[in-house]
Amino acid sequence: MKIAFLSESPADEAAIRVLTEAVLGQSIEVHAPLKLRARGWPSVLNLLHAVISSLQYETDVDGLVVIVDSNGTPLHKQEKPIPCDPHCRLCQLLVRRDCTLSQLRPRAGQASIRVAIGLAMPAIEAWYLCGKYQDVGECLSAEQMAENRLRTTRKRLKVRAYGTDVLPMQLLTQKAVEYSNGLAASLAMLEARFPIGFGGFAAQIKSWR
């Protein structure tokens, strides 16, 4: 299976490759870096339509994986994105994905591309630290957001994960892959602690088997 990845940074994409392969339970072929590169949340949302269309018509890629940080936006509470919360990043991505997929023309000799989307709350570093700290989890993040402690929480997550909140991209990517390799053997725990953002994403990936 050939899969492309779209996220907010190269480090995030490298980590998600490892987790996607673990959820699938099989090796994957990683599509070359996308021509349309996303950096940050607005870029991911704005590029999603063009990326899906490009992969559908110009490649033989089977699936696209998209992961973003919630970064203080509401926790997704609906299985279906319509009607959606306009402030929820997962809702926005799901609506754009479904709208784009509904407009695609069939590919000759190959099924249409599949798109799985996940939301890391409040940031992907919380996934990396799953099981290492009791105050890391989706529900806890929602409580912290309600108490306006999110900025401090996100900084603390980065310091816990990397030893600093500022790290060169090469080292950031290396650490992200190391954490993901460790989590590959603890997917059930990750799904339990992050049932919406990771659990929902994992369910989409499992349907590709």
Q: Where are the domains positioned within the chain?
A: 2-206
Instruction: Report the alpha-carbon distance of residue 74 to residue 118 in Å, rounded.
Output: 14
Report whether the peptide linkage leading into residue 83 is cis, meaning its omega lies within 30 degrees of zero.
yes
Span 147-205, pLDDT tens digits: 556 666 788 899 999 999 889 999 999 999 999 999 999 999 999 999 999 999 999 99
Q: Taking CA 67 as the corner, what is the angle to CA 150 and CA 46, rounded to the nearest 5 degrees? A: 95
Alpha-carbon distance values, 191 to 168, 174, 185 (Å): 29, 23, 12
Torsion of CA 208, 43, 67, 90, to 10 degrees: -90
pTM comes to 0.90
Coil, helix or strand at residue 94:
helix
Mean pLDDT of 4-17: 94
Amino acid 151 reads R
Span 93-145, pLDDT tens digits: 999 999 999 999 999 889 999 999 999 988 999 999 999 988 888 876 666 66
Contacts of 79 (CB under 8 A, 6+ apart): none
Mean pLDDT of 9-30: 95
